[in-house]
A = this chain, B = another copy of it.
């Protein structure tokens, strides 16, 4: 990794790549920890996050949207919802307009659970941001937005050829 400090200038990019990867690995691990602690599977955590996102933005979630989001089969999606429902984190409610559909309502306890997971992380990141002045914060934000856009584009490109 540390090749005697050669080519220091352009290696900032490489160091940042490795830092980004390290951060994602850590976040994944925290997710796994959280899952294990609450008798959930990693997939269930992802599902819960997805449902909380939907609740936060006001959009109503259904088994279909959830499954698409998680990349799961309809059978697998049913299984995930069954598990979450059994734990009382989510309820199924028939849509009165289109009675084929089922609306997924997250329980209050699940929202609290979500915050107990994200809260400390958010706090940490906000604290780190606090060490920088407004101009630097804007720089950081632009960088992350750029990475997000680039990575999303990369993925979209890979989806192309199957």
> A-side interface residues toward B, CB under 8 Å?
1, 3-6, 9-17, 19-24, 26-30, 32-34, 37, 53, 56-57, 71, 120-122, 124-132, 134, 136-141, 143-148, 150-155, 158-159, 162
Contacts and interface: CB of A to CB of B under 8 A. Distances in A.
B26 A23 contact: no
Q: In terms of DSSP, what is the predominant structure of the interface of chain A?
A: helix
A91 to B, nearest CB: 23
Given A17-B121, A138-B12, A33 B148 contact: no
22 contacts: A4-B57, A5-B57, A11-B126, A12-B141, A13-B125, A14-B122, A19-B145, A19-B148, A20-B23, A23-B24, A23-B144, A24-B24, A34-B158, A121-B154, A124-B150, A124-B153, A124-B154, A125-B150, A127-B150, A132-B139, A136-B136, A140-B140
Contacts of A21: 27
Most chain B C-beta atoms within 10 Å of own C-beta, residue among A27, A29, A124: A27
A27 B20 CA distance: 10
A129 B12 contact: yes
B12 A125 contact: no
A129 B53 contact: no
B30 A151 contact: yes
